[in-house]
Amino acid sequence: MSMGRKRFLAGWAGSLLAQQFPPAEEKEKPKRLPDGTLQSEAILKDEQKKLLADAGKLIAMAREVDEELRKYEHHVLSVGLIRKLEEIEKLARRMRTRHTR
The separation between CA 51 and the C-alpha centre of its own chain, rounded to angstroms, equals 11
Q: Is 23 helix (H, G, I), strand (E, B) or coil?
A: coil
Rounded CA-CA distance 29/74 in Å is 61
6 located within any domain: no
Q: What is the mean pLDDT of residues 46-61?
A: 94
Q: pLDDT, tens digit, for every residue of 21-42?
A: 666 665 678 888 888 888 888 8
Domain ranges, residue 47: 31-100
Asked, for residue 91, whether it belongs to a domain, the answer is yes
Q: How many residues does the chain have?
A: 101
12 in any annotated domain: no
Q: How many domains does the chain have?
A: 1
> What pLDDT shows up at residue 37?
85
